[in-house]
Structure 1
Amino acid sequence: MYRERQSAQTLTRSLRGNPCHLRCWGPDTSPLPPLVLLHGWMDVGASWQFVVDAFSEALSGQRRIIAPDWRGFGLSMPASAVDCYHFSDYLADLDALLHELAGEAAIDLVGHSMGGNLAMMYAGVRPARIRRLVNLEGFGLPATDPAEAPARYAQWLDELQRLRQGEIHLKSYDSADKVAARLMRTNPRLGADKAAWLAQHWARQGADGRWHVLGDAAHKVVSAQLYRVDEALALYAAITAPVLCIESEQDSPALWFKGRFTLREHHQRLTHVRQLQTATVQDAGHMLHHDQPAVVARLIEDFLGA
């Protein structure tokens, strides 16, 4: 099994009436700005362990590094059941967390996938709160047309009903080894040692003896709101911090959306960001922080120290 180089402290804070589980590395206090790492959809804060282990002592030994579990993921489960999650709540949770961690001081923010999208949104909403921003494969979504709204709301209502009836759910597994095998099927580049380690944090054994993914099935319910590109571009334009966008060598949007949204279109949207750098990681897929943690760590560290 993978052996951690940097041991994490874990703690739970109450944010907006809900528990927020945090993994923390580095000194408890530091004159340097905190580095906050945001995970993606159906992931957990522990997912950043490999990158943290690859940071130099100059970074990990001198700065406070915090990786929260988003609400409804990992160990940040709402006190009472919910049937859907909204991006605006993630944004408010992040704002509350950063206020608790750093007051009004600027911090450094890194996000992967969904976390990258939320980091970009937040940096546009609270530009003074972000010193530097790193977006790993956070591409946004295909453009939509307002005429799609009636069907989208109907789909959302239908899926809420299906969730209540138990038709929308997450799989469970016979063992932690089966969870690790599932992670490696999703990402063939993930080594067996890292998969075995992640399995212990991505799922947990229940009273029934089976291993259950640490995520709420309600996350699989479609968003009620359409993705509005004009709003995303306005947020991009409001970002004042330098931004580094790190991508894998594959065109992830084209793979996911079957041509409805491509990396080229994402790059066109990024022209609205004032201070932008980009980097491509070779021999890596969407989970590039698992595939090439040393490369990703070096890119982040060089950018933060520039």
Structure 2
Amino acid sequence: MNKNAIVPENDAARIDGRAFTHLPGSGADGVAHVPSTLDRVPVRGLDYSVRRWGPADAPVLFLLHGWMDSSPTFQFVVDALGKDWQLIAPDWRGFGGSTWLGHGYWFPDYYADLEVLLDHYAPGQAVRLVGHSMGAAVAGVYAGLRPARVAQLVMMDFLGLKPPPDAASPVLLRKWLDAQAQPPRLPVHEDSAALARRLQTVNPRLSAARAAFLARHVGRIGADGRVEMACDPWHKLPSPFVYRIEDVMACWRQVTAPTLMLFAEHGYVNERFATEPEALRQRLACFADHRVLTIADAGHNLQHDQPEAVAAALEAFLQRD
């Protein structure tokens, strides 16, 4: 682990030519945050940025962020934890400070990237995985592909996607092919304050202080001074493949780890399955050992809306032996 380049807290750095600011001990919001460090880890030909909080001799917990997000998304939960953990949160390829490809991404690469990271930080160990949204999608399938590798699993507000109504291969392939001609773009904001206002518009439960923190740490400043989310726009490219929940469920049926489903009261899972309780039951039944907990007064980003409740739920579930 010490072979990696570790960037100390409060320093500024440039990662892959882009400005990247590390989480300070306290920010403009006046809130004291648990400090983190950044490792640079080679992963399958890419340069991964991996954020770490907590003492190196504490039990290890991997935190896997969602789509169009990055590792600082877990800061509020980290701040609320009552016990010592060594928390390891990678920026997935194409997000945050990890390498951006500048072309399309293939989802199975995340399983392989995760395996390299687990071998690096916890060689030969069964690990604890906590994933939010896309991170939960990766963690859940990986736990089925490598059941002996995962000791405990937490899936935050995700239980599979809903196939689009036009999920026919010719249609999807044509959309994907058409999209190659025009590189995708992300919305650009005048400054971090404007991005913070946008985040609050999308999520009214987000406090002004937390919105300001996220705008500073999950955004990036361009050469013109304007701000956009620190995510490769090529993630917005439409998939050329039909999403088959049957394939995902087949992987879930191989999961042996005790699994906690953390749903948000007003989040994706409850909205998605409000009129399809049987579909929800079938998906949950894939996991041999699971329990469900709903976080009240939270939307899809429950780690932002109710981090104290999320932290309490994690520590009540996770074994530290």
TM-score (norm: length of structure 2): 0.86
1:89 is displaced (CA, Å) by 0.7
| Matched-pair contact (CA < 8 Å) for 2:263–2:269 | no
Distance 1:263 1:5, change over 3 A: farther
Q: Secondary structure at the match of 1:83?
A: coil
Aligned equivalent of 2:4 = none
**Which amino acid in structure 2 is aligned with residue 131 of structure 1?**
A
Q: Secondary structure at the match of 1:172?
A: coil
Q: Secondary structure at the match of 1:305?
A: coil
Q: Does residue 293 in structure 1 map to residue 315 in structure 2?
A: no
Q: 1-side partners of 2:212 and 2:257: how far apart?
A: 37
Aligned equivalent of 1:37 = 63
1:220 is displaced (CA, Å) by 0.4
Aligned equivalent of 1:283 = 297
Distance 1:95 1:146, change over 3 A: farther
Q: Does residue 95 in structure 1 map to residue 95 in structure 2?
A: no
Q: 1-side partners of 2:163 and 2:188: how far apart?
A: 34
Moved over 4 A (4+): 143-147, 253-257, 261-264
Residue-pair matches, total: 292
**Which amino acid in structure 1 is aligned with residue 200 of structure 2?**
M
| Matched-pair contact (CA < 8 Å) for 1:21–1:69 | yes
Aligned equivalent of 1:124 = 144
Aligned equivalent of 2:262 = 246
Greater share of residues in helix: 1
Q: Does residue 21 in structure 1 map to residue 49 in structure 2?
A: yes
Aligned equivalent of 2:18 = none
1:6 is displaced (CA, Å) by 1.3
Identity %: 40
**Which amino acid in structure 1 is aligned with residue 318 of structure 2?**
L
| Matched-pair contact (CA < 8 Å) for 2:157–2:269 | no
1:279 is displaced (CA, Å) by 0.3
Q: Does residue 185 in structure 1 map to residue 201 in structure 2?
A: yes
Q: 1-side partners of 2:234 and 2:280: how far apart?
A: 28
Distance 1:145 1:172, change over 3 A: closer
Q: Secondary structure at the match of 1:173?
A: coil
Q: Does residue 213 in structure 1 map to residue 232 in structure 2?
A: no
**Which amino acid in structure 1 is aligned with residue 134 of structure 2?**
M
Q: Which runs of 5+ in 2 are unaligned?
A: 1-28
**Which amino acid in structure 2 is aligned with residue 179 of structure 1?**
L
Q: Does residue 271 in structure 1 map to residue 285 in structure 2?
A: yes
Q: 2-side partners of 1:179 and 1:264: how far apart?
A: 39
**Which amino acid in structure 2 is aligned with residue 16 of structure 1?**
R
Q: 2-side partners of 1:272 and 1:110: how far apart?
A: 18
- RMSD of aligned C-alpha atoms? 2.1
**Which amino acid in structure 2 is aligned with residue 249 of structure 1?**
E
TM-score (norm: length of structure 1): 0.90
**Which amino acid in structure 2 is aligned with residue 26 of structure 1?**
G
Aligned equivalent of 2:15 = none
| Matched-pair contact (CA < 8 Å) for 2:179–2:238 | yes
Q: Which runs of 5+ in 1 are unaligned?
A: none
**Which amino acid in structure 1 is aligned with residue 107 of structure 2?**
F
